[in-house]
Structure 1
């Protein structure tokens, strides 16, 4: 069997575009309006997408089923594997009793929830995004915030929004490297262009996080700390992206902001300490929206030795080291990848031809499942979990019991992830994703404003800025050449626009709810993040439009 994708089944691109939107509209409706549980909404959306692919886009049933199953397996490995191991690592610190020391060590820097969010959700989360990517920062940082006493809903929402800043350079720069490869462009030029867009968001995100939590008045109270955090992060991100390349911007900027903010908080304190409404402090005080600095200081007056603090933090210190070795050392990567199995997907690999009208070329669509048992990031995290058993002095019985409980708690989130990836793959292999991209690409001189929206759609569909870039980078490049806009800007905009959708990606929401104990609340979390996602997208689209015309000098 051989099948050629048809991106305009109705012979009218506007009508085909609208029909291709039906599964996405259904998913929005299921989560936001009907507030279905995430895994239910995901499974029903897959069914709708498969029906549209078969009935409208004339995709053979066998290919539609193969593509959906292929995506589901991608949801289990490597993504589901990362979710399980990341949440497991956090739960080991709780099971061993060491998380209380972690909580106290952070409180010794500041008990203010606003500043803790900057340290954990923004800076530490960015470091995890830069080294591991996928759902690791949301899972780890979300769990940490809940353990510190954050309202679980806010912990999940804040980590999703904070993850906007580092996504473009996540996983040691993989999204940028992918876009350069797909579009056959200079990787440094794309890195520089993204480095002249994303830092503008990175500067704003810390302010927005605190504003969401506490309102305008309480945000101004900690504005000096916000500026230290945002400026140190965005400036380092700009310098690294423009002069060193795409691999290190997240790591260097995260370290810079962590160090700068920690040092700053040693010499500066807010006048009042913000806590969530009805939250109990360590001394039993119940706060409204804040307590006095004196009361907060008394509640955190718990001393632990340096040895105890290092032992408590050792799983996360170890995690960072292992991930850096796993993904940062070429010799290690080569050895681990040597055992990777590349499995051709039956009835799918090379059977479909992609023939984009704009590109005007036909190429076979590969479908190869990569099973990297040792090289996977989740396996690196599992190694950290194994060593942490000894560092935290846990018995094997307790370790295994914690793992079982983790699997049990993550069952429904994993079903959602599997269904969402099945949805993403049926969209791609049926040609519906390309129809969406082509429809948006027909906007002419206004396309620079639309370019980030294409990236946003790509990340929403796939949950990955890397996948979005693989899907749409070449489309961005060729459209730029047709309308006379520098293609470097548009390819970069695909990645920059994509980061604003990470917070509403069903995959990310599933990770966030799993890490914070909010399984079943995916619809509410989606409604919380969607307005922020659209706001950030509008900012990104405006930046791209300005850089395309009056600020053209910013393009490298």
Structure 2
């Protein structure tokens, strides 16, 4: 053994018929890690981190004992996935949450919340819709990971909405924005894993999720006040949903896709504010808000909105191409590209060339996490020099304190997502995902109908559209290629399907029940929202199937 070169000893090429020369047997064995994850999470009720670790161990065992992958390559695949899970995935998420925490620490978030409360001319139903949908969408864009549900549920209770109604309303509202949540990290993750440009995926998703955004505000009115609320207030719900949907469509394809939800939430809210200047709702006495918001000065409202306007400006500048000035190219000059040590050159493609997946790439300056950090620093600077900084303190010490608190609070989520990405890389690079995808492709064109279901299942179980894409994006791509369906469409469908799985995930149900001070009501909430989740999933399945055919293929970019 000592005379054999390490590279020759470790070389490995994935084989979709590694088990008994059978694609079916190989694919079924490849499903074991996913089954392990779901059984540990749902049946054994283990925490997501423990379930991911168990699935990672199962994936390594399947890779080594079943597929013949050298152990050292399996471990190296896991380390590459772990690194990607930390940078850029969790860098973006942590930066986004820190950015949000800055507004809270500086007391500006309270002004923003009160601005949403003050709109609606005292009509509880309009306020509930705008808070759950627009403000929740803004929180999903920057924070995600349950924050929109927890914060907006408490706000709806303060308005006077019943506890369980508040929980159901925010769960249903937390659908349309999810694909672009936390600075569109589900899309970024899917793009990196599959090699499909994230901008292309975002463009397709921007022709799917806006369909939900168009109708969700109407549904929220029905949840809050039944048919009466829908009959009396449908015009403002239609305007809010339509503007939100149009902003999602435009921004996902023509602007910075990472900012899609920020732009859509602000646009939808702004459209509602403008409409209420010319249109007055019919408000029954039993639907008047209990909250009488203290009037805010224009300056305080401007400073409350400033961080979100600023982050839009920073991302817009990062995308600017004007004559000889190419900012993306300039930012891309500092890019870390690393042939993963020990893996690159030993993990081989079918033609014997080094597998491209063994190359780790991190854009340092143009990364959304870096841009968010820069935006946060600018916010700190502006807030610290504001004339009312004595009432709304901000300093470097407060900013660092926020960063430290964010890291502490996110440590379990960071470890979980990084482990799920390690699992994904082992399954992808060992050939498990390739075998499953090739096997599922036998369904042919019908797979387009099933595609959103995988995303729905992944998010429903993990509580994260990012984790769902980590598990299934490459599988969708493989199945699409084998079945002759556009892989970009199917990977996008995985993301959009995950959107409607979010409202039935145990994690979200628990957050909602806790936020409305009704722990133990998760089963009640599940019964109330499951039908909406399945109905929206059915709509998406039909939409994706038609988009895969000439009937609606014109919708795709």
TM-score range for the pair, normalised by the shorter chain length: 0.7 to 0.9
Alignment partner, residue 4 of structure 2: none
Alignment partner, residue 415 of structure 1: 415
Is 1:417–1:510's contact at 8 Å kept on the other side of the alignment?
no
Residues 293-304 of structure 1 aligned to structure 2 (within 5 Å): 293=288, 295-296=289-290, 299-304=291-296
Residues 194-273 of structure 1 aligned to structure 2 (within 5 Å): 197-208=208-219, 222-234=233-245, 250=260, 256-266=267-277, 267-269=279-281, 271=283
- Tell me by how many angstroms 1:62 deviates: 0.7
Is 1:200–1:234's contact at 8 Å kept on the other side of the alignment?
yes
SS in 1 for 2:338: strand
Pair 1:119 & 2:134 matched: yes
Gaps of at least 5 residues in structure 1 are 129-134, 274-290, 481-486
Cα distance, 1:161–1:172 mapped onto 2, change above 3 Å: closer
Alignment partner, residue 399 of structure 2: 399
- Tell me by how many angstroms 1:467 deviates: 9.5
Question: Within 2, Cα distance between the matches of 1:421 and 1:191?
Answer: 21
Alignment partner, residue 176 of structure 2: 162
Pair 1:538 & 2:545 matched: no
Gaps of at least 5 residues in structure 2 are 1-9, 158-162, 385-393
Pair 1:49 & 2:59 matched: yes
2:480 to 476, 479, 483: 476
SS in 1 for 2:271: helix
1:64 to 27, 52, 74: 74
Question: Within 1, Cα distance between the matches of 2:305 and 2:150?
Answer: 14
Is 1:63–1:347's contact at 8 Å kept on the other side of the alignment?
yes
Alignment partner, residue 334 of structure 1: 329
Deviation per CA, 1:343-393: give whole Å up to 9, x if none.
2211212422344xxxx9987243222233332211211122222223333
- Tell me by how many angstroms 1:437 deviates: 1.2
Alignment partner, residue 497 of structure 2: 500
- Tell me by how many angstroms 1:432 deviates: 1.4
Alignment partner, residue 8 of structure 1: 17
- Tell me by how many angstroms 1:269 deviates: 3.6
1:346 to 329, 338, 341: 341
TM-score by length of 2: 0.74
Pair 1:322 & 2:314 matched: yes
Cα distance, 1:38–1:547 mapped onto 2, change above 3 Å: closer
- Tell me by how many angstroms 1:16 deviates: 2.8
SS in 2 for 1:349: coil
Deviation per CA, 1:425-454: give whole Å up to 9, x if none.
112111111122112100135334234456
RMSD: 4.6
1:368 to 353, 359, 367: 359
Question: Within 1, Cα distance between the matches of 2:477 and 2:256?
Answer: 16
Question: Within 2, Cα distance between the matches of 1:28 and 1:161?
Answer: 22
Cα distance, 1:436–1:553 mapped onto 2, change above 3 Å: closer
Alignment partner, residue 310 of structure 1: 302
Is 2:63–2:430's contact at 8 Å kept on the other side of the alignment?
yes
Is 1:95–1:402's contact at 8 Å kept on the other side of the alignment?
yes
Is 2:547–2:555's contact at 8 Å kept on the other side of the alignment?
yes
Question: Within 1, Cα distance between the matches of 2:171 and 2:490?
Answer: 24
Pair 1:25 & 2:35 matched: yes
Question: Within 1, Cα distance between the matches of 2:45 and 2:218?
Answer: 29
Deviation per CA, 1:457-480: give whole Å up to 9, x if none.
898896476996666446524522
Question: Within 2, Cα distance between the matches of 1:455 and 1:215?
Answer: 30
1:93 to 97, 103, 111: 103
Alignment partner, residue 84 of structure 2: 74
Residues 168-207 of structure 1 aligned to structure 2 (within 5 Å): 182=196, 197-207=208-218
SS in 2 for 1:501: helix
- Tell me by how many angstroms 1:338 deviates: 1.3
SS in 2 for 1:230: helix
Cα distance, 1:365–1:533 mapped onto 2, change above 3 Å: farther
Question: Within 1, Cα distance between the matches of 2:35 and 2:336?
Answer: 37
Deviation per CA, 1:134-181: give whole Å up to 9, x if none.
x755677567636746689779845652325658x9589979998998
Question: Within 2, Cα distance between the matches of 1:530 and 1:68?
Answer: 35
Is 2:243–2:271's contact at 8 Å kept on the other side of the alignment?
yes
Is 1:228–1:261's contact at 8 Å kept on the other side of the alignment?
yes
Is 1:102–1:309's contact at 8 Å kept on the other side of the alignment?
yes
Question: Within 2, Cα distance between the matches of 1:509 and 1:324?
Answer: 36
Question: Within 2, Cα distance between the matches of 1:136 and 1:171?
Answer: 11
